Amino acid sequence: MKKIVVLDDYEEAYRRLADWSAIERDAHVEYYSERMEGPDLLKAIKDANALVLMRDRTPLKADLIAQLPYLEYVVFTGTRNLALDVEALKQRQIPVSFTEWGPSKDSTSELSWAMLMALYKRVIEQNAVMMLGAWRNDRS
């Protein structure tokens, strides 16, 4: 059975937002939400056939790739991954895939403005007041 390792999924988005049932019938999938490096990382991925990476959170350089004899495929979110040694993967003829969403400049700036507005308007504070059954406080 093939082994797929999902790394650095802090928010557990991969597990929550996709239906893995068809894949899990044919492959063993391991999910890691905590960042790993060194011996812990190698132990987790040494016998993986495929790696699923969250952007460029885990560096995958030539020296590590050389220690992964079963690796057949790498996929990551985003359109580029500067922590990935693509040349080392090419030399081993390991295909690399990525998502086509492109840069998230629009959503990043929208989120930044939303957070600024929430801070200025005390949205979190007022939400806490409402959750207690009250309406506004003297600082509103």
Fold of the CATH domain 2-98: Rossmann fold (3.40.50)
User: pTM of whole model > 0.75?
Assistant: no
Q: What is the pLDDT of residue 5?
A: 97
Pick from 81, 85, 82: nearest CA to 71: 85
Mean pLDDT of the chain: 89
The Cα–Cα gap between 38 and 44 comes to 10
pLDDT tens, residue by residue, 55-65: 888 999 999 99
pLDDT tens, residue by residue, 105-121: 677 788 888 889 888 88
DSSP 42: H
Domain coordinates of the chain in residue numbers? 2-98, 104-140
- Take residue 45 and report the two structure tokens written for it: 């991925």
pLDDT over 80 (residue 125): yes
pLDDT tens, residue by residue, 86-112: 999 999 999 999 887 656 667 778 888
Q: What is the pLDDT of residue 64?
A: 97
Q: How far lies 11's CA from each of 15, 21, 54, 104, in Å?
A: 9, 19, 10, 18
Q: What percent of the chain has pLDDT over 90?
A: 53
The Cα–Cα gap between 63 and 52 comes to 19
The Cα–Cα gap between 47 and 70 comes to 6
